[in-house]
Amino acid sequence: MDAFELGCAVLSATVYQAGRDRANLAPLPSGATKVALSGLTDGYFFDSATGFEASLYQYQGKYIIAFAGTDPKDGHDLAANVMLGSGVMEAQLKQA
């Protein structure tokens, strides 16, 4: 794994923000910045109705989108997993 890939792996950890204490959030890798766009708060998007969570970053001259994975203990995510596994176009997939 090279330095860029390692930085992207760290960015993928930073997307997990919903329900977490700020002290427990992963730090951004050196040189990475959050990208502010319409609909994003500080480069972050969370939809409490569906459980969808994503962030947008700029890192080493590239734009990186990080999506939170599903949590099988969360009702929204469990329903999304079942629907996606059944071939149904689910709301979280549409949001991605």
Confidence of residue 74 (pLDDT cuts 50, 70, 90): confident
pLDDT tens per residue across span 20-65: 888 888 889 999 999 988 777 788 898 888 888 999 999 999 999 9
Residue with the two structure tokens 């996606």: 84
Q: One-letter amino acid identity for 15?
A: V
How many C-beta neighbours within 10 Å does residue 88 have? 10
- Measured CA to CA, the distance from residue 18 to residue 25 in angstroms comes to 10
User: What's the pTM value of the predicted model, to 2 decimals?
Assistant: 0.81
Measuring CA to CA, how many Å separate 67 from each of 17, 56, 93? 11, 9, 11
- Measured CA to CA, the distance from residue 21 to residue 42 in angstroms comes to 17
